[in-house]
């Protein structure tokens, strides 16, 4: 006999935020197979950024000499202290506290189990229980891909084979690490481990890092990374073997022909697969697209009645702020659907989705690259402002930072922005705001004060430079 609930939520990442005060009193079930709080909190955005900050400090201390500051003595890194500050002192407590709170709410049942659809709004759990509900939200996220190479096809932290799920909790830093991939995860960890003193070899299948960025940003970041660690482009791992002493030898095929590299640990960071098929959502009448992403409409409704989906399982961005935005949409729509809120269902706004890569320096962008605008035949004007040509850029002695803005030549409305440089993730926000609220470039540039000589003048100058 299945236990019936009013609402089932699968996944406690952004899914956990669906239990709003408005839904209080409904009989709500939450199913979570892993650590409460999901990817961002436990193994994603938050711990990685807490690692990037000390890594930035190391590089800044090395760079200080360029500004006339000599730091006497060696800069040393205490890995266990960094790791325990992040996990033991903060994240693990937030996760445990979040779970305790949910379990304390009388109207919520938390199932620690893996869920699988066996029928419409009908789930079988790995505990042997079955549950059904009037409404279901699929918020089951995505999982890290592995390599189809013997030895690197499964995570084995004790053998030094990691994904982002395990690499941040290593007992000690390896002397040498191979990082396979050239996307967000690989680039952030290459920065972290290289700065913390690990010999990094990064192995990327294509000819540049972060190749979905605007071409000039991808080119510049690739050059900077090449100057910091061993970077193998257009290269693949063909086989891997581990010695009794624990050393991995990876055979590589690439630009330099057949080579190999010896390392003590391997981090596989070659993308993430949405979890829809693992949940057998089709048995619940829920359609997947060709990439395995749950198909949703603008209200985040799936193709099955009474089933919504959000986050990595249901979009290709795989970003936390997108999952959170979609969760707010679903929470509203659940409240309307259950009669707890008056009004109409709302739609998700995916017009200007920004992202940032927290490497060194940071990258931040939204909207199409110039190659994509060209490909689509969209008329645009663009302007690139170098950080080094502004007053604060002089203070930074910056030589690599750029901000490119693209706008509609007729209306001056922003189409996209692409930034590489210190604080790019913060600097881009007024441009996201201008695009989201439909403010033309000229109005944003001249309709307000820009603090002098702040770094924000990079944004002001880029907007002024646009010929709209």
Residue ranges of the annotated binding site for NAD(+) are 181-188, 271
Compute the least distance from the CB of residue 222 to ligand NAD, in Å.
11
Q: Which is nearer to ligand NAD, 16 or 201 (CB)?
A: 201
State yes or no: residue 362 binds ligand FAD (CB under 6 A).
Answer: no
Cβ-Cβ contacts under 8 Å for 20 (sequence gap 6 or more): 331, 335
Q: Which does 236 bind (CB under 5 to 8 A by kind): ligand NAD, ligand FAD, none?
A: ligand NAD
* Nearest residue to the partner ligand NAD, using Cβ: 183
The binding site for FAD comprises 49, 312
State yes or no: residue 455 binds ligand FAD (CB under 6 A).
Answer: no
State yes or no: residue 141 binds ligand FAD (CB under 6 A).
Answer: yes
Q: Contacts with ligand FAD in 23-52 (CB under 6 A)?
A: 31-34, 38-40, 44-45, 48-49
State yes or no: residue 434 binds ligand NAD (CB under 6 A).
Answer: no
Span from 7-15, 63-71, 79-87, 399-407 in contact with ligand FAD (CB under 6 A): 7-15
Ramachandran category for residue 38: left, alpha or beta (phi over 0 → left; psi -120 to 50 → alpha): left
User: Given 3-state DSSP classes, what are the helix, strand and coil percentages for the chain, each rounded to the nearest 5?
Assistant: 35, 25, 40
Compute the least distance from the CB of residue 435 to ligand NAD, in Å.
18
How does DSSP classify residue 293? P
Compute the least distance from the CB of residue 35 to ligand NAD, in Å.
17
How far does Cα 368 stand from its chain's mean position? 18
- The residue whose two tokens read 């729509």 is 333
Cβ-Cβ contacts under 8 Å for 64 (sequence gap 6 or more): 70, 71
For residues 411 and 439, is the Cβ–Cβ distance under 8 A? Answer: no
Residue 167: CA count within 13 A, CB half-sphere: 25
State yes or no: residue 11 binds ligand FAD (CB under 6 A).
Answer: yes
Chosen residue from 164, 218, 333, 362 binding ligand FAD by CB under 6 A: 164
Alpha helix segments (H runs only) across 24-78: 38-43, 45-63
Q: Contacts with ligand NAD in 439-458 (CB under 6 A)?
A: none
Tell me, yes or no, if 350 is annotated catalytic. Answer: no
Q: Which does 181 bind (CB under 5 to 8 A by kind): ligand FAD, ligand NAD, none?
A: ligand NAD
Compute the least distance from the CB of residue 182 to ligand NAD, in Å.
3
Q: Contacts with ligand FAD in 261-290 (CB under 6 A)?
A: 275, 278-279
For residue 205, CA distances in Å to 184, 211, 316, 363 come to 14, 11, 21, 21
Site string for ligand NAD, 317-356 (x = CB under 6 A): xxx-----------------------------------xx
Compute the least distance from the CB of residue 145 to ligand NAD, in Å.
7
The count of residues interacting with ligand NAD (CB under 6 A) is 25
Q: Which does 32 bind (CB under 5 to 8 A by kind): ligand FAD, ligand NAD, none?
A: ligand FAD
How does DSSP classify residue 410? T
Cβ-Cβ contacts under 8 Å for 5 (sequence gap 6 or more): 27, 28, 29, 109, 131, 132, 133, 134
Site string for ligand NAD, 122-161 (x = CB under 6 A): -------------------------x--------------
Catalytic residue among 122, 229, 418, 452: 452
For residues 196 and 57, is the Cβ–Cβ distance under 8 A? Answer: no
Give which of 93, 108, 118, 98 is closest to 26, Cα–Cα: 108
Alpha helix segments (H runs only) across 287-428: 320-337, 370-376, 391-396, 424-427
Q: Which is nearer to ligand NAD, 248 or 358 (CB)?
A: 358
Ramachandran category for residue 248: left, alpha or beta (phi over 0 → left; psi -120 to 50 → alpha): beta
State yes or no: residue 5 binds ligand FAD (CB under 6 A).
Answer: no
The Cα–Cα gap between 344 and 326 comes to 16
Compute the least distance from the CB of residue 141 to ligand NAD, in Å.
10
Which are the catalytic amino acids? 452
């Amino acid at each position: 006999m299945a236990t019936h609930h009013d609402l089932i939520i699968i996944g406690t990442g952004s899914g956990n935020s669906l239990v709003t005060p408005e839904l209080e009193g409904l009989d709500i079930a939450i199913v979570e197979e892993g650590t409460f709080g999901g990817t961002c909190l436990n193994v994603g955005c938050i711990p990685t950024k807490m690692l990037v900050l000390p890594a930035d400090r190391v590089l800044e201390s090395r760079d200080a000499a360029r500004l006339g500051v000599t730091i006497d003595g060696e800069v040393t890194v205490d890995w266990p202290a960094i790791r325990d500050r992040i996990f033991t002192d903060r994240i693990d407590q937030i996760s445990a506290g979040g779970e305790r709170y949910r379990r304390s709410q009388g109207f919520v049942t938390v199932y620690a189990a893996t869920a699988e659809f066996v029928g419409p709004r009908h789930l079988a759990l790995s505990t042997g229980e079955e549950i059904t509900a009037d409404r279901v939200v699929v918020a089951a996220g995505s999982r890290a891909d592995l390599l189809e190479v013997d030895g690197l096809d499964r995570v084995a932290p004790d053998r030094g084979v990691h994904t982002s799920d395990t690499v941040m909790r290593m007992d000690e830093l390896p002397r040498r690490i191979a990082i396979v991939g050239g996307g967000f995860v690989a680039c952030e960890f290459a920065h972290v481990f290289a700065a913390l003193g690990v010999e990094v070899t990064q192995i990327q299948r294509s000819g540049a890092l972060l190749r979905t960025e605007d071409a000039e940003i991808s080119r510049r970041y690739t050059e900077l990374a090449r100057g910091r660690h061993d970077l193998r482009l257009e290269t693949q791992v063909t086989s891997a073997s581990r010695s009794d002493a624990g050393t991995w030898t990876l055979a590589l095929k690439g630009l330099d022909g057949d080579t190999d590299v010896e390392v003590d640990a391997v981090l596989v960071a070659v993308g993430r697969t949405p979890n829809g098929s693992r949940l057998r959502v089709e048995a619940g009448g829920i359609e997947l697209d060709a990439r395995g992403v749950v198909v949703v409409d603008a209200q985040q409704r799936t193709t099955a009645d009474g089933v919504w989906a959000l986050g990595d399982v249901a979009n290709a961005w795989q970003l936390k702020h997108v999952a959170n935005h979609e969760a707010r949409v679903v929470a509203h729509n659940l409240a309307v659907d259950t009669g707890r809120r008056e009004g109409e269902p709302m739609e998700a706004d995916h017009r200007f989705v920004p992202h940032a890569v927290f490497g060194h320096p940071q990258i931040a962008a939204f909207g199409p690259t110039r190659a994509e605008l060209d490909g689509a035949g969209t008329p645009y004007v663009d302007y690139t402002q170098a950080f080094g040509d502004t007053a604060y850029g002089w203070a930074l002695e910056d030589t690599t930072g750029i901000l490119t803005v693209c706008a509609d030549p007729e209306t001056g409305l922003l189409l996209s922005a692409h930034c590489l440089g210190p604080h790019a993730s913060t600097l881009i926000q007024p441009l996201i705001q201008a695009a989201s609220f439909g403010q033309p470039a000229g109005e944003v540039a001249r309709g307000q004060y820009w603090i002098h000589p702040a770094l924000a003048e990079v944004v002001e100058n880029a907007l002024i430079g646009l010929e709209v």
